[in-house]
Amino acid sequence: MLNEYFFVLKAEWMLIAIIFLLLFLKVGTSDWKNETLLYGINILLLVNLLVGFFSNLEGGLFSGMFHNDALLILEKNILNIGVYLVSLIAYPWLKKHEHVLEFYILLLTTLLGMFFMISSGNLLLFYLGLEMSTIPLAAIANFDLDKRKSSEAAMKMIISSAFSSALLLFGVSLIYGTTGTLVFTEITPLLNGSPLQLLAFILLLAGFSFKMSVVPFHLWTADVYEGAPVAVTAYLSVISKSAILFIFLQVLYVVFKPMSSEWYFMLFFLSILTILLGNLFAMRQTNLKRFLAFSSIAQVGFILLGLSAGSKTGMASVIYFLLIYMFSNLAAFGVIGLVSASTGKESIDDFKGFYKTNPFLSWILAIALFSLAGVPPTAGFFGKFFLIMAGAERGNYVWVIFAALNMIISFYYYLKVVKAIFMDPNDQPIEKLTVPALPKLAFVICLTGMVLTGILSWIYEYIHTLSNF
């Protein structure tokens, strides 16, 4: 029994241990240099990541409130990889920061919240995990302490997430009102699509849409992404989005399975809107972070398309896409973060002529953008192809054609950045930057991920076998 408490919760225990260790370090004053501290923490995170692959135990705890299975273990490992990468690319920024320990404590707390959220079997624990993963995030969005925009981002984020939580809670209360239970497995058989339940679902969906930044609930995204430090933006757009999508998959595919024809049409409209608006706004951006914010909104629209399949392939394609999206987006944010930390430049125009001075970084950024655009041989191609393929499963070709045509628009704005990097002349390009070892490691991992995740089909096949639907 004790064994179970330890191993089923292993990923969570690991994080708790690291968080406490960092807390003790903080309390027991030490005058370690930032570099040493960062190297130490990154090694800890690497250990955490590696341990995640071994001696995992599946099972339920606390009478089904918390459960762990092979798919969830995989999802947690994906999140662990992501956090490790974020930590690596945050190095140039954190090196000069005076609150490194606090940053990691807050960051890992949000990760812990996400772990609880995706493992939850009960709306209560789900809500708890969700809040635990959001509130500390708002705090670290404010971590560029001397920038006003950063505080603005934190404020916007906390208000909008409080609002979405309220919607979500209202939905939960209606579910409880109509079914009399909060346990996932007990809710499902009691769903009959009555108007009240439909309203409950719409409220839940709205709450989720806020967190995933689905149009029309996306308004906070660009401002927060722009204002927050690059590492936090990367974390927000990749890790927390993936986590919320993981639980969204469970909620749609398992809990609300009886209402699948209802949610299908809701997803259809949300996805069309999201892709279109995300793309249209992304075209007009001049700040790279805002640009990636809107492009990531459009990506979510594609994810909804894959999600709509409601089948095993749909589930697998979404998780697979998120894995690839993580590598690509983090690589892009890594380059932007490095440039921003050393020169403070973030606009697309500043990147003109970037290739002349920084060929390595340019290629990383270009490949990341190609992967986001879905161009082979990068993995992004496979990810997007399988999403669209899953979407076509139900035969809704209007949606498929719409998505395919929108890929051209997205291709345009990604290429615009590539054009700036490689082709546009610039008298004062960004000077040659030295890439520290840790971000370099992150780039190598991301590059390997962006190339190999696609060509090696067994990764997808593995996810497919785990997709327990």
Partner 1 sequence: MNLTLFLLFPLATAIAILLASGLKQIRVIALIGSLLQLALSGKLLLAYYEQRAAGNQSQMLFEYVQKWYGPLNLQYHIGVDGISIAMILLTAFVVVAGILVSWETEHLSKEFFFLLVLLSLGAYGFFISLDVFTMFFFLEVAVIPKFLLIGIWGSGKKEYSAMKLALMLMGGSALILVGMLGIYFSSKTAGGAHSFDLLELAKMNIPLARQMLFFPFAFIGFGIFTAIFPFHTWVPDGHASAPTAASMFLAGISMKLGGYGCLRVATYLMPDAAHAYSWVIILLATIAIIYGAFATMMQTDLKYINAYSSVSHCGFVLLGIGMLTQTSINGAVMQMVSHGLMTALFFAAIGMVYSRTHTRMVAQLGGLLKIMPFISTVFVIAGLCSLGLPGFSGFAAEMTVFMGSWQNPDKWYRLATILACASIVVTAVYILRAAGKSIMGPLGNDSYKDLTDAKWYEKSAAILLIFGILVVGMAPFWLINLIQPGTEFIMNKLAVVATGL
Question: Which residues form the interface with partner 1 (CB under 8 A)?
Answer: 312-313, 316, 370, 375-377, 381, 385-386, 388-389, 392-393, 395, 397, 400-401, 404-405, 407-408, 411-412, 415-416, 418-419, 422-424, 457, 460-461, 464-465
268: β partners: none
For the CB of residue 185, give the shortest distance to partner 1 in the complex, in Å. 27
For the CB of residue 424, give the shortest distance to partner 1 in the complex, in Å. 7
For the CB of residue 411, give the shortest distance to partner 1 in the complex, in Å. 5
Please give the Cα distance from 383 to 359 (Å, whole number): 27
Other Cβ atoms closer than 10 A to 32? 12
By C-beta, is 149 or 432 nearer to partner 1?
Answer: 432
Please give the Cα distance from 386 to 239 (Å, whole number): 21
Contact residues for 202 (Cβ-Cβ < 8 A; gap 6+):
171, 266
By C-beta, is 39 or 411 nearer to partner 1?
Answer: 411
By C-beta, is 49 or 307 nearer to partner 1?
Answer: 307
For the CB of residue 201, give the shortest distance to partner 1 in the complex, in Å. 29
Q: Are 179 and 186 a contacting pair, CB within 8 Å?
A: yes
Please give the Cα distance from 194 to 197 (Å, whole number): 5
Dihedral pair phi/psi, residue 347, rounded to 5°:
-95, 160
By C-beta, is 39 or 422 nearer to partner 1?
Answer: 422
For tokens 């986001």, name the residue.
Answer: 372
- The answer to whether the peptide bond before residue 189 is cis (omega within 30 degrees of 0) is no
By C-beta, is 244 or 387 nearer to partner 1?
Answer: 387
For the CB of residue 154, give the shortest distance to partner 1 in the complex, in Å. 38
By C-beta, is 100 or 282 nearer to partner 1?
Answer: 282
For tokens 């290739």, name the residue.
Answer: 355
Single out the residue of 229, 243, 208, 232 nearest to residue 80, CA to CA: 243
For the CB of residue 247, give the shortest distance to partner 1 in the complex, in Å. 23
By C-beta, is 241 or 384 nearer to partner 1?
Answer: 384
By C-beta, is 130 or 272 nearer to partner 1?
Answer: 272
For the CB of residue 435, give the shortest distance to partner 1 in the complex, in Å. 18
Got the DSSP string for 113-170? HHHHHHHBSBHHHHHHHHHHHHHHHHHHHT-STT-HHHHHHHHHHHHHHHHHHHHHHH
Please give the Cα distance from 382 to 399 (Å, whole number): 19
Dihedral pair phi/psi, residue 183, rounded to 5°:
-80, 130
Other Cβ atoms closer than 10 A to 53? 11
For the CB of residue 460, give the shortest distance to partner 1 in the complex, in Å. 6
For the CB of residue 124, give the shortest distance to partner 1 in the complex, in Å. 35
Task: Tell me the H-state helices in 285-311.
Answer: 288-307
By C-beta, is 243 or 450 nearer to partner 1?
Answer: 450
